[in-house]
Chain A
Amino acid sequence: QKEVEQNSGPLSVPEGAIASLNCTYSDRGSQSFFWYRQYSGKSPELIMSIYSNGDKEDGRFTAQLNKASQYVSLLIRDSQPSDSATYLCAVNGIRDDKIIFGKGTRLHILP
């Protein structure tokens, strides 16, 4: 059974600090990794995708992937109150067109 695990939170971070969100997955064959942001009452919005080990930066967001440890993380620099949302980690296997979502981590940026 493929699983994606996230700490449900809430994770409280002061405005301007770095928010660090973590995710582990069970399927060693997974090849594609995604972070989605979901505001309350809204649909998930893709913010980052990562396919290779290492870091990928996009503005204030950095995704980090370590396939050996089966671990993917999302860093948000200079956190803003508008970053307060639930962040969903999603993982896809090479032989499977299905994405498995974690239950999400609630992030709360303290003004």
Chain B
Amino acid sequence: NAGVMQNPRHLVRRRGQEARLRCSPVKGHSHVYWYRQLPEEGLKFMVYLQKENIIDESGMPKERFSAEFPKEGPSILRIQQVVRGDSAAYFCASSPLGTGEYEQYFGPGTRLTVT
């Protein structure tokens, strides 16, 4: 069974460029969550998606950040016009559909460095 897959694992962007982070959930999982983690800090929730729907984006900055989870293909977290403060590890997690089945399984993460 393949776990959560994320790519790229490392991404370097210059200030002002766009960053696209991809996440493929565990097969059969229809819930995807994105988190950001700064060095020596905790995981910060960004957005929760189901197929073709954004359920909760309360943790997402209002500008420059967007996320989608299309009917086909991976979930995408998009950061436009990146700034140095966007440098962080971005983790995707997935969980299965079902009452009480809230365990989330994490991908390996994408380490974004903005130069």
Contacts and interface: CB of A to CB of B under 8 A. Distances in A.
Contacts of B31: 97
B103 A46 contact: yes
A103 B104 CA distance: 17
A89 B28 CA distance: 26
Contacts of A90: 104
Chain A: number of interface residues, binned into ranges: 20 to 34
A43 B106 contact: yes
Interface in B61-108: 91, 95, 100, 102-108
A44 interface: yes
A27 to B, nearest CB: 14
B103 A45 contact: no
A42 B108 CA distance: 7
B103 A43 contact: no
Contacts of B48: 97-98
Interface of A: 31-32, 34, 36, 42-46, 49, 51, 88, 90, 92, 97-104
Interface of B: 31, 33, 35, 41-43, 45, 48, 55-56, 91, 95, 100, 102-109
23 contacts: A32-B103, A34-B103, A36-B106, A42-B108, A42-B109, A43-B107, A43-B108, A43-B109, A44-B91, A46-B103, A46-B105, A46-B106, A51-B100, A88-B43, A97-B31, A97-B48, A97-B102, A98-B48, A99-B33, A99-B45, A99-B102, A101-B42, A103-B41
